[in-house]
Amino acid sequence: MRVLTFIAAVAALSLAGSIAARAEVVNDIWVGPSPDPTQPPLIQSYPISNLCPAPRQPVILGGVIWCDIPTAGAYYDPQAHSPRKARLHRAAPLPRPWTPEGEKGVIWR
């Protein structure tokens, strides 16, 4: 039983080490395995007011907005540009009190 536990622990550690070896970290941002590791990551320009120094502009990389030179097209957020239809809210009619003759109490219909 101890040998089996030891083998399972060694297998788990070797698997965890191989997964960590494939991770790519750029400026403390994990970008994961890329299709071609020799190519730099795609840096998209972000459409906000430009407060960056002269050759740089706002870009987004790994969900972080910062100043750099973009290597890809503009960032597009489909959620921000989707048209939403205004929904007309109609309240359901409230129940009305009704008191039948000859009976005790109120019935709500």
89 part of a folded domain: no
67 part of a folded domain: yes
pTM for this one? 0.39
7 part of a folded domain: no
Residue 94 DSSP label: P
50 part of a folded domain: yes
How many residues are present in the chain? 109
Per-residue pLDDT of the chain (109 residues; tens, 9 = 90+): 677 677 777 666 665 555 555 556 666 666 665 566 677 778 888 888 888 998 899 998 878 889 998 888 887 776 776 677 777 778 888 878 888 787 777 777 6
Work out how many domains the chain is built from and give that number: 1
**Domain enclosing residue 63, as ranges:** 25-32+41-76
88 part of a folded domain: no
Q: Which residues pair with 57 in a beta bridge?
A: 68
53 part of a folded domain: yes
Other beta carbons within 10 angstroms of residue 58's beta carbon come to 19
20 part of a folded domain: no
99 part of a folded domain: no
